[in-house]
Amino acid sequence: MLEKLLVEDYAAEGKSLAKVDGKVIFIERVVPGDVVDVRLQKNKKDWAEGMPVHFHSYSADRVEPFCSHFGVCGGCQWQMLPYEKQLEYKHRQVEETLKRIGKVALPPFQPILGAAETKYYRNKIEYTFGNKRFLLKEELADESINGEQNVAGFHAKGLFDKVVDIETCYLQAEPTNEIRLAVKAFAKENNWSFYDIRNHVGFLRTMQVRLCTTGELMINIVVGENDEQKIKELMDYVAKQFPAITTLLYTVNTKWNDSMFDLEPVVYYGKGYAVEKLSAGPGGEEFQFKIGPKSFFQTNSKQAERLYQVTREFAELTGNEVVYDLYCGTGSIGIFVSGKAKKIVGVEMIAAAIEDARENAALNNLSSAEFFAGDVIDICNDDFFSAHGKPDVIITDPPRAGMHEKLVNKILEIAAPTVVYVSCNPATQARDLNVLDEKYEVTKVQPVDMFPHTHHIENVVQLKLKNR
């Protein structure tokens, strides 16, 4: 135990730090300015990690969290920080990470783009139904409170089998809470079982809520038993109670995991998908995107607009460029920048995503966009370039793990004049920039905050071929 540590600074990934005799102590759930006692969980020669067990005084920077579940459910880590401070720390995280890991020459950073709306910003949420409620510390000592309860909410952080029972979540606008609470109450009234993830039994399992800025509302309820009678009763009830739902689906999942890729959602009513719209800016185009129950789409629509606007700006398109959109997913970035490009070529490993991308291109009447399923390493050869043109601009938006080393080398080989790298993980982005430095210089950097009250941050980098 370390006593009365002054938390001195933010340290990235939601942790802050204190120092004891030159040794750095990383601490969760604190902010700079707090004075705390810390119980160490890892203790190395030069650093340690720990959790606060007692607060002697709180930082002057702290504000009152607006959610009663803050600190328990884990969905938001930073509600105790004013939003301006969150942005300051996120901006600094990007800058320090790119310098420390990237070790490349960097231009002045553009100020981080914060979100206008810091509540109700998610268009998609997944709730979990379970039969074991996560108990608070004070409840553990009370023998009259039993954790064997049917609940609906989110998995407790670090505990796969415990669910935090949520009353009100502020991440998504209503009727998201109303639907979850109604489904929970209806299942309890009917004595239906909630899923037991340890023993893999139970009827009510998870529920995805997709609420678009267009007003379209898509609900997919996942059940663990193929009981047609129960499913019909549940669907009829939800449909009657919530006429605002535009597409209602159910999915039967009897597997041991919650992944959806190999399951087939059944449309109970509606068209089976939702349509979201993104605007290119004042006076600009408006793009439509078809989102199915298994489609990937940026979960903050308003900030996705700003992220894509930055991406398009960094691409510096004049109408004559062939743009390659790598890790294109359902084609959203490529489609968004298409109005200023000669041609879009999207490449993505997941075949189902490419089908969505082609449908989205058709939805927006794009004849100048083509999408291909497969590995960029295999696809982008001389024959492909002869057929589709070599890229003038490459846009890449990889997952958190960053780009595969072979792809980084492929980009060096292709040597497009401009590369725009969109990242949800500055650390892996910095690693890739270090390799790209062989031929490219970083010319612009723009952090974008997609997820207020969390430590996640997106970053867009423009790279240009070095003069040789």
User: Looking at residues 359-377, what average pLDDT do you find?
Assistant: 94
- 199: helix, strand or coil: coil
- Strands 274-279, 369-373: parallel, antiparallel or unpaired by DSSP? unpaired
What pLDDT does residue 12 have? 79
User: Looking at residues 119-129, what average pLDDT do you find?
Assistant: 98
Q: State the catalytic residues.
A: 424
What pLDDT does residue 363 have? 96
What pLDDT does residue 136 have? 86
Cβ atoms within 10 Å, residue 245: 20
User: Percentage of the chain surpassing pLDDT 90?
Assistant: 87
Counting every residue written for the chain, the total comes to: 468
Q: Mean pLDDT over all residues of the chain?
A: 95
User: Where does 346-446 have alpha helices with state H?
Assistant: 351-363, 376-379, 382-388, 405-414, 426-436
User: Looking at residues 346-366, what average pLDDT do you find?
Assistant: 94
DSSP bridge pairs for 459 = 423, 447
The CA–CA distances, whole Å, from 271 to 12, 138, 234, 245, 267 equal 43, 47, 19, 11, 8
Query: What tokens were used for 464?
Result: 């240009």
CATH of domain 88-117+300-465: 3.40.50.150
Domain coordinates in residue numbering, the chain: 2-62, 88-117+300-465, 124-275
Per-residue pLDDT band for 144 (boundaries 50, 70, 90) equals confident
Reported as a single tens digit per residue, the pLDDT across 263-276 is 999 999 999 999 99
Q: Do domains 88-117+300-465 and 124-275 have the same CATH topology?
A: no
Cβ atoms within 10 Å, residue 84: 9
Query: What tokens were used for 423?
Result: 């990242």
Reported as a single tens digit per residue, the pLDDT across 320-340 is 999 999 999 999 999 999 999
- 103: helix, strand or coil: coil
Is the pLDDT at 20 greater than 80, yes or no?
yes
Strand order in the sheet with 23-27: 2-6, 35-43, 47-57, 23-27, 15-20, 9-12
What pLDDT does residue 425 have? 96
Say which CATH class 2-62 falls into: mainly beta
Is the pLDDT at 149 greater than 80, yes or no?
yes
Q: H or E stretch including 236?
A: helix 228-241
- Strands 393-396, 418-423: parallel, antiparallel or unpaired by DSSP? parallel
Is the pLDDT at 362 greater than 70, yes or no?
yes
The CA–CA distances, whole Å, from 122 to 72, 91, 171, 301, 451 equal 19, 21, 6, 7, 8
Decide: 219 and 247 in contact? Cβ < 8 Å: yes
What pLDDT does residue 254 have? 97
The CA–CA distances, whole Å, from 75 to 8, 259, 304, 379, 454 equal 25, 20, 20, 38, 8
Cβ atoms within 10 Å, residue 188: 14
Our CA dihedral for 433, 435, 436, 437, rounded to 10 degrees, sits at: 90
What pLDDT does residue 60 have? 95
What pLDDT does residue 206 have? 98
Reported as a single tens digit per residue, the pLDDT across 28-81 is 889 999 999 999 999 998 999 999 999 999 999 999 999 999 989 888 999 999
Per-residue pLDDT band for 468 (boundaries 50, 70, 90) equals low
Decide: 34 and 52 in contact? Cβ < 8 Å: yes
The CA–CA distances, whole Å, from 316 to 132, 396, 410 equal 53, 15, 22
What pLDDT does residue 16 have? 93
Least confident of 10-24, 79-93, 108-122, 445-459: 10-24
| CATH 1.20.1740.10 is right for the domain spanning 124-275 | no
Is the pLDDT at 416 greater than 90, yes or no?
yes
User: Looking at residues 277-299, what average pLDDT do you find?
Assistant: 91
The CA–CA distances, whole Å, from 382 to 298, 347, 400 equal 33, 16, 29
User: Looking at residues 428-455, what average pLDDT do you find?
Assistant: 97
Per-residue pLDDT band for 143 (boundaries 50, 70, 90) equals confident
- Whether the model pTM is above 0.75: yes
Q: How many helices (H) and strands (E) does the chain have?
A: 11, 22
- 9: helix, strand or coil: strand
